[in-house]
Chain A
Amino acid sequence: MTPLWLIPLIPAAAATVNGLVGIRWFPRGLSALVATLAIGAAFVLSAGVFAGLLQAPPGERMIETLLGDWIPQIPLATANGIGMFKVTWLLRADALAAVMLLVVTGIGLLIHVYAVAYMRDEPSGAYARFFCYLNLFCAFMLLLVLAGNFVVLFVGWEGVGLCSYLLIGFWYRKTSAANAGRKAFIVNRIGDLGFLLAIFLVFYTFGTVDFREVASAVAARPVEAAGLGVLSAICLLLTLGAVGKSAQIPLFVWLPDAMEGPTPVSALIHAATMVTAGVYLIARTAALFMHAPLVMQAIAVVGAATALLAAAVGLVQHDIKRVLAYSTISPIGYMCLAAGVGAFGAAIFHLATHAFFKALLFLGSGSVIHALGGEQDMRRMGGLRTRMPLTFATMAIAGLALAGIPPLSGFFSKDEIQVRVFEAHPWLFAVALLTTLVTAFYIARLMALTFMGSYRGGPWSPVASAAAASTAAAHGVRHPADAPAHGQAQRADHEVTHGPALRGPTSMARSAGGAGDAAHGALRGAPHDAPWTMTLPLIVLAVGALAAGWAGVPATMGGSDALGRFLTPVFAGLASNAAAAHAGRGTALGVMIASVLAAVAGGLAARYLYVTRPEVRPVLALRWRGLHALLYAGFRVDALYDATIVRGTLAAARGLRAIDLRVLDGAVDGVGVIARTGAWLSHMLDKYLVDGVVNAVARGAGRGSFLVRRLQTGLVQNYALMMVLGLFAFLTLYLLGG
């Protein structure tokens, strides 16, 4: 039996080591080694789990590990009287989780290897910090995947959100990066609130938060086909959470900005794994969603709309990473669409293949950015095909896979989704088909702008770049892009940004050293393929992007649909999953041909506009400039949110501040004045009335005693006289009275 708990624990332990010890003391190699070994170990264990599940008969494909209680039994009110709220650290690996485990650890491992070289120019403290965050992310993601109940999943969910925030804002001295991190965190909060409320409602409804218990409880309930009941409410809230995490309309705005993070982060978190957590959540709670068909339709519509609109925005972006960001939102929309029509297996299949080719696209773009010394604007790229053949080849494979060209992985997964969508909602299939066309267009455009034609950027003279870097160092500004170029000069630059507070002469000396290093850099000045630690992951991912689809070739194409059958037990008994078998061969073939034709058409259109007749483009852009500007601004959603929500929040905050100042402070001040007045009155009363009485008594006693004490003369003869007078008085009384 594989120790399931070790899978998230090893990366967590490595993150702890790197975070506590590594940042201060580890050299670069050691922190990278610790992190990579940890994720490698997690990968090996995950592969073991996967193999174990593969061998098990379909009904028994599950491993459970109960680590112990987290929250002991607390009696809480539920819909069925008092229930026991109890949360255990329950890890459960079923087929769905196993696929996700392989994706997360496999791609995570490759990206760790890639980052070893990519982040090399960071100072060692930041280097260890980077790997600490990356490992921590993997740990939380694996916890999310393995969670056996809602609450543990929520822990992982929030954890990956935290790591996403930390890694987007990794270069926290750069204002835009810090803002992007905050934006991602805050936008995700909205979705997380939905998820949290969903958990509350799940417990209130079913009296348990365990996925399996909830699923079996749901099975006993009727499908809410006509109206919205409590199951629909739960699903809506879960959908809100998924929409936030998976960057769907209307909460997608954080993902394009998340590209401020280092490129390996974009590849791992904002393309391959974390953003798919929303889709995973929907698949994990598929039993609930199957009982809320109206919510399913909403998800399908949201997914389709997101897929098309994000792809459209990706058409006109200049920043290579922004294109890829929108190109991430779009396939996740596809996955949501698949989940929305009940094709959970297809959604997970697409998730897995997408992880390969999108991570590959990001890492390839990272190589390009790296080679061009931080240039991200595609208008200043071009012609890199001959200079970076390996990067070009691997990215081309990924691009073809993304576009859905057979027999690459994306084709099979996308096709499966499209067949299912066609059966469920033909009009959504039209949207999906259009998306395929647009997708093929923008990815072909990206490849054409980056690798075809001739180089349009500035000269890559090493002297010039070193001089630029030393200027940057002297002024204490960061290199405009995230990717460091080769050579010592950029290292000096980075240390100005992230390093210890060495300023003035030291950084000047370092940049002088960088300029001296330029002679060495002369050989490496022109763009070229990255070192092997960066190209190796590209090659492995390219193999994955090529071949991953063969794991799930649909039966209608004569394939075995191995992945689908592997996942079947997870989604078994869900009504609409069985519909897949009804897909007619003719329908499937028609959908496939339409899809491929759309992809080829998109690709050819891009080829026409960007390779054959580039001069047509400005004319078109001018004619459609309104649309062009709208798309370039991402449908101005950011501006819309800024005008409504952000400004609304700020205005409300200002209003509340005014209320605070006037009403609350006034009330508090009023209380203060009243207290002061009362105190003054009390003081006066004390001083003049109470003290007056006391003083009057004292003064009376003093005056009185002044009279009486005169008798006490101290003269013996006076006393004797008194005695005699007294004696006479008594004698007189005695004699007269007697």
Chain B
Amino acid sequence: MTPITPYHYLVLSAALFTTGLVGVLVRRNIIVVLMSIELMLNAVNINLAAFAWERQHAVGQVFAIFVVAVAAAEAAVGLGIILAFFRNKETLNLDDLDIMRW
């Protein structure tokens, strides 16, 4: 049984980030896109926590907690925007949100 190294964490984090990124790019539901963003943030958090553990340094963990806080705020604001959008358009499809084009 090989010991768990930062390399494993990095692979896990990259997989999770890629999942989130693809979710953001290909899904059309705004809420799913928001959730995918959460995935990407947490992939970053894994990285931060893994390096904090590896280096035995608390700064990484502190950053991770900051990211969690920002993510919470982002979720709150994002959901608010989504709610307002829904009230106007009665849809959650991102393809309908194109009034800012040329």
Contacts and interface: CB of A to CB of B under 8 A. Distances in A.
A and B found bound together: yes
A724 B97 contact: no
Contacts of B101: 712-715
Given A724-B21, A724-B25, A717 B94 contact: yes
Given A715-B94, A716-B94, A721 B25 contact: yes
B98 interface: yes
A710 B98 CA distance: 12
A134 to B, nearest CB: 95
A714 B25 contact: no
Contacts, number: 31
Interface string B12-26: 000000000100111
Contact of A715 (B21, B24, B26, B95): B95
A720 interface: yes
B45 to A, nearest CB: 20
Contacts of B98: 713-715
A476 B63 CA distance: 122
Contacts of B24: 717, 720
B102 A712 contact: yes
A715 B98 CA distance: 5
B1 interface: no
B100 interface: yes
Interface in A700-738: 709-710, 712-717, 720-721, 724
B100 A714 contact: yes
Given A715-B94, A715-B95, A710 B21 contact: no
Of listed B25, B33, B102, residue having the most chain A CB within 10 A: B102
Interface in B69-102: 94-95, 97-102
A713 B98 CA distance: 7
A715 B25 contact: no
A716 B34 CA distance: 12
A709 to B, nearest CB: 4
A709 B102 contact: yes
Contacts of A715: 94-95, 97-98, 101
A717 B25 contact: yes
A710 B102 contact: yes
Contacts of B97: 714-716
Interface string B42-53: 000000000000
A546 to B, nearest CB: 120
A715 B101 CA distance: 7
Nearest to B27: A717
Contacts of A721: 25
A714 to B, nearest CB: 3
| A contact residues, range | 10 to 19
Nearest to A711: B102
B99 A714 contact: yes
A721 B25 CA distance: 6
A709 B33 CA distance: 26
A70 B22 CA distance: 108
A8 B14 CA distance: 125
Contacts of B95: 715
Contacts of B102: 709-710, 712-714
A600 to B, nearest CB: 127
Contacts of B33: 717
A713 B95 CA distance: 10
Contacts of B99: 714
A614 to B, nearest CB: 122
Contacts of A709: 102
A161 B30 CA distance: 109
Contacts of A720: 24-25
A713 B33 CA distance: 18
B97 to A, nearest CB: 7
Contacts of A724: 21, 25
Contacts of B26: 717
Contacts of A713: 98, 101-102
Nearest to B99: A714
A713 B101 CA distance: 5
B33 to A, nearest CB: 8
A710 B102 CA distance: 7
Contacts of A712: 100-102
A717 B97 CA distance: 10
Interface string A252-284: 000000000000000000000000000000000
A712 B99 CA distance: 10
Nearest to B96: A715
A724 B24 CA distance: 11
A424 B102 CA distance: 118
Contacts of A716: 94, 97
A353 B53 CA distance: 152
B27 to A, nearest CB: 8
A715 B21 CA distance: 16
Contacts of B25: 717, 720-721, 724
Nearest to A714: B101
A637 to B, nearest CB: 99
A724 B33 CA distance: 15
A714 B100 CA distance: 4
A730 to B, nearest CB: 16
A715 B26 CA distance: 12
B30 to A, nearest CB: 9
A709 B101 CA distance: 8
A717 B95 CA distance: 9
A721 B94 CA distance: 14
Nearest to A705: B102
Of listed A717, A720, A721, A724, residue having the most chain B CB within 10 A: A717
A214 to B, nearest CB: 98
Nearest to B101: A714
A720 B97 CA distance: 14
Of listed A709, A710, A712, A715, residue having the most chain B CB within 10 A: A715
A720 B21 CA distance: 9
B78 to A, nearest CB: 12
Nearest to B95: A715
A575 to B, nearest CB: 114
Contacts of B100: 712, 714
Of listed A709, A710, A716, residue having the most chain B CB within 10 A: A716
B29 to A, nearest CB: 11
A709 B26 CA distance: 23
The 6 A-B residue pairs with the shortest CB-CB distance, nearest first, are: A714-B101, A714-B98, A709-B102, A714-B100, A712-B102, A713-B101
23 contacts: A710-B102, A712-B100, A712-B101, A712-B102, A713-B98, A713-B102, A714-B98, A714-B99, A714-B100, A714-B101, A715-B94, A716-B94, A716-B97, A717-B24, A717-B25, A717-B26, A717-B33, A717-B94, A720-B24, A720-B25, A721-B25, A724-B21, A724-B25
Interface of A: 709-710, 712-717, 720-721, 724
Interface of B: 21, 24-26, 33, 94-95, 97-102
Given A717-B26, A717-B94, 7 more contacts: A710-B102, A713-B101, A714-B98, A714-B99, A714-B101, A717-B25, A717-B33
